Amino acid sequence: MTSVLFVCLGNICRSPLAEGALRAAAERAGLDIVVDSAGTGDWHVGAPPDRRAQAAARRHGVDISGLRARQVRPEDFRRFDHVLALDDQNLRDLMAIAPADGTAEVRLLMDYVPGREGSSVADPYFGTDRDFDTTWAEVRAAADALVGRLGRRFPKSAGTM
């Protein structure tokens, strides 16, 4: 089973939105994917997603209220197949902390969206509800593209729903 970890700075806005978007996209596609999110920083460990992130996801039928922030750990680079940063700075931070024996592919999430390769997901933290909707649209597009790619690599097996 494929596993994906989304990483932003505090794990209360972008990465939980990406986690929720990928869970929903995988469910729609009938794919079994392990999905989690984390932050490079430790400021919000144990906190739920920002209320505005929860509201943006809820407007699209996705509940992320049960998620809790955590900090990325060295074992994440061995546990997950894909560790996907939401921006350049977090990608650099991940590359700096990745253990030598890490097996995960580490890259930007938006690299999966044609025409958006190398770009960051907008950080809505200091913005408005509209900014959270923009972030949702970006992570939703990336989740759909990621599911499309993973679905081609790992098609549903007979008897799997």
Report d(CA 153, CA 69) in Å as an integer. 30
What is the mean predicted confidence (pLDDT) over 131-145?
97
- To the query of whether residue 14 is one of the catalytic residues in this protein, the response is yes
Query: Annotated catalytic, 8?
Result: yes
Catalytic residue among 68, 79, 107, 123: 123
* Active-site residue, from 13, 14, 50, 144: 14
Fold topology of 2-153: Rossmann fold (3.40.50)
Q: Specify whether 13 is catalytic.
A: no
- The domain spans of the chain are 2-153
The pLDDT of residue 1: 87
Q: What is the pLDDT of residues 5-45, one digit of tens each?
A: 999 999 999 999 999 999 999 999 999 999 999 999 999 99
The pLDDT tens digits for 51-76 are 999 999 999 999 999 999 999 999 99
Helix H or strand E encompassing 145: helix 129-153
